[in-house]
């Protein structure tokens, strides 16, 4: 078996188990409508699978700092409850910044994982832009 594949499966399993699936103590988040293409693929996400959504890059209208700031606000609202206000992890919930991001081969893989798995109490509930803004903040820490 490929060692990279084994490592990926182990890390993905750890993240899934560490984040848990219980919503008993999770905050209630408002749902943001997301338009996605219908697909019959129900397989688990792989960390190396690129996302279909293009990466949002800074433009003349939106600077990198603004994208990071938007991601920080989103992280505080949707992620900080489980992963700590700075992504450092809490109790049995993993850190999601720094070395924790090395398991994702690129931002497209991270985007795919976040969209399919997070937030645990309502996966896929954020818009593609919101997930990309979160990635900007995660990568900045």
Q: Number of structural domains, the chain? A: 1
pLDDT band at 48 (very low <50, low <70, confident <90, very high): very low
Is-contact 108 117, C-beta < 8 A? no
Q: Give the CATH number, domain containing residue 16.
A: 1.10.760.10
What percent of the chain shows pLDDT beyond 90? 53
In a domain, 111, yes or no: yes
Is-contact 121 29, C-beta < 8 A? yes
- 108: number of CA atoms within 13 Å, CB side? 8
In a domain, 44, yes or no: no
Q: What is the mean pLDDT of residues 74-89?
A: 95
In a domain, 92, yes or no: yes
Q: How far is CA 124 from the centre of its chain?
A: 10
For residue 45, the model assigns a pLDDT of 44
In a domain, 43, yes or no: no
Least confident of 1-5, 79-83, 99-103: 1-5
């Amino acid at each position: 078996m490929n060692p990279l594949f084994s490592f990926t499966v182990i890390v993905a399993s750890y993240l899934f188990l560490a984040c848990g699936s219980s919503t008993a103590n999770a905050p209630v988040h408002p749902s943001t409508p997301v338009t996605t293409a219908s697909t019959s693929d129900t397989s688990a996400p792989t960390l190396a699978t690129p996302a279909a959504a293009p990466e949002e890059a800074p433009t003349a209208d939106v600077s990198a700092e603004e994208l990071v700031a938007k991601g920080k606000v989103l992280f505080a609202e949707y992620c900080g409850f489980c992963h700590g206000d700075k992504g450092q992890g809490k109790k049995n919930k993993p850190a999601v910044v720094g070395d924790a991001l090395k398991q994702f081969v690129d931002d497209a893989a991270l985007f795919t994982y976040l969209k399919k798995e997070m937030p645990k109490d309502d996966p896929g509930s954020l818009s593609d832009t919101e997930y990309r803004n979160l990635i900007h903040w995660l990568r900045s820490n």
